[in-house]
């Protein structure tokens, strides 16, 4: 089997072409209301795009060819070289996973045949969430429920750093399902470094800031839970937060019709961060005894929500799956690619990044295959590099929204990049094994 330029468009007309209701792949929200203008091979976001969308869609298309050992080769030669590396590997690792649903299906199939390990670049944040879900369970909500019902939102992460249009799309909604106007909401920011400017807008009645170090947010939530149970809190400050502030937040939580606590797992980049998530989820469950409260985790960038869903569909397990035994096995510690690279247990790395150029492969001395965007940022020249089409720009596809409840269609914007679809490349490598 040979790799073909699957999904490539015919040469674009010189006249411009307009596209509406375009889905953006450049953060986990996957906003589907963008308007894009194409002139030749150039794209311009003309409406509803944030900075990430404009940077992603409008980056200029430059010529990129497959390379082996840094030298240009044909696509089929690059596929053969990649297959040779994987075939000779005792335990290949398949990482990055910046792709859409069908791309992830192709990764899982290839990893199964190659008896390799599958882990997303943001696997540690995902594993933190899964440890809590598997050991304690949780009450979770969706973006739609937040938009239509939530009147108290407690943020433990600066969501706008990751999802620029979150407040515009969800909180500042001019109309909701159960009212003619926006829901009147109180926004509580626990942590540090928030920019409150973009938060103000329709429906936001009040913004409350509770300052503390990020690695002490769990202590604040624990103190809040203690007060909610009616138990004494002898300390006058917790993690630097005065007791009256905590008592005020307790009262707000108890008065809320629909409260939501929001976090981004990858933002909790400190030791034992899963304990903070654990404390958040326990507090949510405790509040549900008397009222409606929910959690909302907002990772989802670089296709991580899609990758996690496909891993579960295809193997029956969450991410960090190994096919080394001939059957899928799950272990969030053992099958973490960073650990495998450090210990020397993996001897080949296949890194997929078809959505953005920013998902750089880790530096390693083992043979590395990078299947990435035409402008992929490379810290070193990989043994094999294959540029591929970007789903949602150069190829059709589907991608799952950050809350894991909606699958959105991705468009081919007829840019005629001439790049092969990553699915075709992965399938060709598998056929060559």
Q: Which CATH number fits the domain that encloses residue 426?
A: 3.40.50.740
The answer to whether the beta carbons of residues 233 and 264 sit under 8 Å apart is no
In terms of domains, do 194 and 235 share one? yes
In a domain, 91, yes or no: yes
- Any bridge partners for residue 368, and if so which? 349
In terms of domains, do 171 and 291 share one? yes
d(CA 242, CA 251): 15
In terms of domains, do 212 and 247 share one? yes
Q: What are the DSSP E strand ranges found in 272-375? A: 293-297, 321-322, 329-330, 348-353, 368-372
In a domain, 100, yes or no: yes
The answer to whether the beta carbons of residues 280 and 154 sit under 8 Å apart is no
In terms of domains, do 145 and 290 share one? yes
pLDDT of residue 9: 46
With H, G, I as helix, E, B as strand and everything else as coil, classify residue 203: coil
In terms of domains, do 291 and 249 share one? yes
The residue from 280, 299, 318 where one domain ends is: 299
Residue 275 belongs to domain spanning: 126-299
The two three-digit tokens of residue 127, written as one number: 């594993």
The residue from 284, 299, 314 where one domain ends is: 299
Domain count, the chain: 2
In a domain, 92, yes or no: yes
Q: What are the DSSP E strand ranges found in 48-91? A: 67-68, 71-72
Q: Count the neighbouring beta carbons within 10 Å of the beta carbon of residue 90.
A: 11
In terms of domains, do 287 and 138 share one? yes
Distance of CA 433 to the CA centre of its chain: 30
In a domain, 6, yes or no: no
Q: Which residue has the tokens 């209301």?
A: 33
In terms of domains, do 35 and 101 share one? yes
In terms of domains, do 136 and 247 share one? yes
Helix (H) or strand (E) holding 398: strand 397-400
pLDDT of residue 196: 87
Q: Which CATH number fits the domain that encloses residue 187?
A: 3.40.228.10
The two three-digit tokens of residue 130, written as one number: 């899964």
In terms of domains, do 205 and 245 share one? yes
Least Cα distance to 105 among 370, 313, 364, 371 occurs for 313
The two three-digit tokens of residue 247, written as one number: 């008592």
In terms of domains, do 107 and 132 share one? no
Q: What are the DSSP E strand ranges found in 62-126? A: 67-68, 71-72, 92-98, 117-118
Residue 404: exposed, middle, or buried by beta-carbon count in 10 A (0-12, 13-18, 19+)?
Answer: middle
Share of the chain above pLDDT 90, in %: 89
In terms of domains, do 147 and 265 share one? yes
In a domain, 10, yes or no: no
In a domain, 230, yes or no: yes
d(CA 39, CA 70): 32
The residue from 248, 273, 299 where one domain ends is: 299
The two three-digit tokens of residue 358, written as one number: 């920013």
In a domain, 3, yes or no: no
In a domain, 54, yes or no: yes
Local mean pLDDT, 10-residue blocks, the chain (433 residues): 46 76 97 97 96 96 96 98 98 98 98 98 93 93 95 96 94 84 91 90 94 96 94 93 97 97 92 94 94 94 96 96 97 97 98 96 96 94 98 97 96 94 98 97
Pairing of strands 348-353, 185-191: unpaired
pLDDT of residue 15: 73
Give the angle subtended at the CA of 71 by the CAs of 65 and 73, to the nearest 5°.
Answer: 50
Crossing angle for the helix pair 273-287 and 217-228, to the nearest 10 degrees: 20
In terms of domains, do 288 and 158 share one? yes
pLDDT of residue 3: 54
Least Cα distance to 371 among 379, 363, 383 occurs for 383
């Amino acid at each position: 089997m040979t790799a073909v330029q699957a999904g490539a468009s015919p040469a674009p007309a010189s006249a411009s072409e307009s596209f509406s209701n375009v889905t953006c792949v450049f953060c986990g929200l996957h906003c589907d209301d963008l308007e894009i203008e194409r002139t030749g091979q150039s794209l311009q976001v003309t409406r509803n795009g944030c900075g990430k969308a404009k940077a992603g869609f409008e980056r200029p298309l430059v010529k990129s060819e497959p390379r082996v050992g840094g030298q240009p080769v044909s696509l089929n030669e690059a596929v053969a070289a990649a297959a040779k590396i994987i075939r000779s590997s005792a335990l290949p690792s398949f990482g990055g996973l910046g792709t859409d649903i069908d791309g992830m299906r192709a990764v899982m199939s290839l990893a199964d045949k190659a008896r390799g390990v599958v882990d997303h670049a943001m696997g540690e944040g995902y594993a933190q969430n899964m440890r809590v879900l598997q050991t304690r369970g949780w009450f979770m909500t969706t973006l739609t429920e937040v938009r239509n019902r939530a009147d108290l939102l407690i943020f433990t992460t600066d969501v706008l750093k990751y999802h620029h249009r979150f407040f515009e799309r969800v909180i500042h909604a001019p109309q909701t399902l159960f009212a003619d106007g926006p829901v009147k909401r109180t926004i509580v920011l626990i942590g540090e470094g928030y920019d409150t400017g973009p938060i103000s807008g329709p429906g936001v009645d009040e913004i409350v800031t509770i300052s503390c170090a990020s690695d002490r947010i769990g202590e604040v939530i624990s103190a809040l839970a203690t007060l909610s149970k009616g138990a004494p809190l002898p300390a006058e400050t917790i993690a630097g937060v005065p007791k009256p502030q905590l008592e005020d937040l307790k009262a707000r939580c108890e008065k809320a019709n629909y409260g939501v606590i929001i976090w981004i797992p990858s933002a909790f980049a400190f030791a034992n961060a899963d304990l903070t998530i654990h404390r958040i989820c326990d507090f949510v469950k405790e509040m549900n005894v008397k009222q409606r409260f929910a959690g909302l985790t907002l990772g989802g960038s670089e296709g991580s929500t899609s990758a996690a869903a496909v891993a579960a569909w295809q193997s029956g397990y969450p991410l960090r799956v190994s096919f080394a035994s001939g059957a899928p096995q799950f272990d969030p510690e053992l099958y973490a690619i960073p650990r495998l690279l450090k210990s020397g247990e993996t001897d080949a790395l296949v890194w997929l990044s078809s959505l953005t150029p920013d998902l750089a492969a880790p530096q390693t001395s083992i043979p590395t295959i990078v299947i990435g965007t035409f402008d992929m940022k490379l810290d070193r020249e990989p043994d094999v590099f294959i540029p591929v089409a970007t789903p949602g720009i150069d190829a059709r596809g589907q991608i799952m929204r950050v809350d894991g409840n909606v699958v959105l269609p991705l468009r081919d914007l007829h840019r005629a990049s001439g790049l092969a679809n990553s699915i075709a490349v992965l399938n060709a490598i598998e056929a060559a094994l």
